[in-house]
């Protein structure tokens, strides 16, 4: 991960090293933050940000769940994200919008506290390691469960909730796996620690529904749309753990992980233990879209201007 020169904090351009917060900030104590992860890709038209508005809308949705009002609307944040990528001279990058309750009191109820908003960017390659996109990763079903909507708010990308994801991913890595997969409170398949999950079985693609306590992933939505474009049948379906081991193909989707095949689960090979043909087809379509090699038929890319692939200064 290579960090950038500039960050955006509360409407100002601030150098990376100066983008600091006070230790009494409510979010540091109680996890009252909301965030996003977004990628910008290098294209022939310079860097373009993938599904920027949808991510910023989800940031606002996550804030709503916390009864937090963001002082900047989607339009303002869209402009600031574009400018951030341009200013930092990225060809491709990962963007991290973050909003959190700041200092002013340590009571658990932080509704009266100031809301701070920051935008960070960094250069970040394949999330699950070199070769993961081609060869797939080894995953394990976690001993931890994903929290349900009676406990927390799975549809929100809320900082404090990610303690659950940290438990899952740390356990998986300690045990020698690249990623952990969680079951929901009922024991049905939910998702990966930072990814949504897809099964391919008998030519159909299956993915758990929102009622399985998943995050409503934007890459998940992208892959569902691309499957429909390609005429690949897809079903949102509650699924049991054993169904995963019997999959022909298994893959995970997320902004960081993109479309990553899973080659084994709990050391049981999935299919023949390599990236499968439908995964590869969806993956190729995904990268053709995000890297601007096919027509942006769904209006998913936001041009930045600048970068070495463009004539703009």
Residues found near ligand PMP in the complex (CB under 6 A): 37, 165, 191, 194-196, 215, 217-220, 253-255
Smallest distance, ligand PMP to C-beta of residue 100, A: 17
Instruction: Record the tokens describing residue 125, joined without a space.
Output: 């390659």
Smallest distance, ligand PMP to C-beta of residue 54, A: 8
- In contact, 8 and 77? CB cutoff 8 Å: no
| CA distance linking residue 270 with residue 179, whole number of Å | 15
Residue whose C-alpha is closest to residue 49's, from 59, 58, 39, 60: 39
| CA distance linking residue 234 with residue 231, whole number of Å | 9
- In contact, 99 and 115? CB cutoff 8 Å: yes
Residue identified by tokens 């691309």 is: 226
| CA distance linking residue 144 with residue 175, whole number of Å | 14
Nearer to ligand PMP, 27 or 158 (CB): 158
| CA distance linking residue 68 with residue 312, whole number of Å | 38
Nearer to ligand PMP, 194 or 307 (CB): 194
| CA distance linking residue 120 with residue 218, whole number of Å | 19
Three-state DSSP string of 203-271: CEEEECCHHHCCCCCHHHHHHHHHHHHHCCCEEECCCCHHHHHCCCEEEEEECCCEEEEEEEECCEECC
Nearer to ligand PMP, 113 or 199 (CB): 199
Nearer to ligand PMP, 207 or 255 (CB): 255
Smallest distance, ligand PMP to C-beta of residue 217, A: 3
Nearer to ligand PMP, 37 or 136 (CB): 37
For 308, other C-beta atoms within 10 Å of its C-beta total: 10
C-alpha distances out from residue 300 to 23, 127, 225, 286, 297, Å: 38, 21, 12, 11, 8
Instruction: Confirm whether 157 is a catalytic residue.
Output: yes
Nearer to ligand PMP, 113 or 259 (CB): 259
| CA distance linking residue 52 with residue 73, whole number of Å | 13
Smallest distance, ligand PMP to C-beta of residue 221, A: 8
Task: Say which of 39, 55, 86, 157 is annotated catalytic.
Answer: 157
By annotation, the residues acting in catalysis are 157
């Amino acid at each position: 991960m290579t960090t950038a020169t500039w960050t955006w904090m509360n409407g100002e351009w601030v150098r990376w090293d100066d983008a600091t917060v006070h230790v009494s900030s409510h979010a540091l104590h109680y996890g009252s933050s909301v965030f996003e992860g977004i990628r910008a890709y290098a294209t022939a038209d310079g860097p373009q940000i993938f599904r920027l508005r949808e991510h910023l809308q989800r940031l606002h949705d996550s804030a709503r769940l916390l009864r937090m009002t963001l002082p900047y609307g989607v339009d303002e944040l869209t402009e600031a994200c574009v400018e951030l990528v341009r200013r930092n001279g990225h060809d491709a990058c990962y963007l991290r919008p973050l909003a959190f309750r700041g200092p002013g009191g340590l009571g658990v109820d932080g509704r009266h506290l100031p809301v701070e908003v920051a935008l960070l960017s960094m250069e970040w390659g394949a999330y699950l390691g070199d070769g993961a996109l081609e060869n797939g990763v080894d995953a394990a079903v976690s001993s931890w469960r994903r929290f349900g909507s009676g406990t927390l708010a799975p549809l929100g990308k809320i900082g404090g909730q990610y303690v659950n994801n940290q438990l899952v991913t740390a356990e998986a890595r300690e045990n020698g796996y690249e990623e952990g997969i969680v079951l929901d409170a009922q024991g049905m398949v939910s998702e990966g620690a930072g990814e949504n999950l897809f099964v391919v079985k008998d030519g159909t693609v299956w993915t758990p529904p929102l009622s399985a306590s998943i995050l409503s992933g934007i890459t998940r939505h992208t892959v569902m749309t691309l499957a429909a474009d390609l005429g690949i049948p897809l079903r949102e379906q509650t699924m049991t753990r054993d169904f995963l081991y019997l999959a022909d193909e298994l893959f995970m989707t997320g902004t960081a992980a993109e479309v990553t095949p899973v080659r084994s689960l709990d050391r049981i090979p999935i299919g023949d233990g390599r990236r499968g043909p439908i995964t590869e087809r969806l993956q190729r379509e995904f990268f053709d879209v995000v890297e601007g090699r096919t027509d942006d038929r769904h209006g998913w890319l936001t041009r930045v201007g600048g970068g070495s692939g463009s004539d703009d200064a």
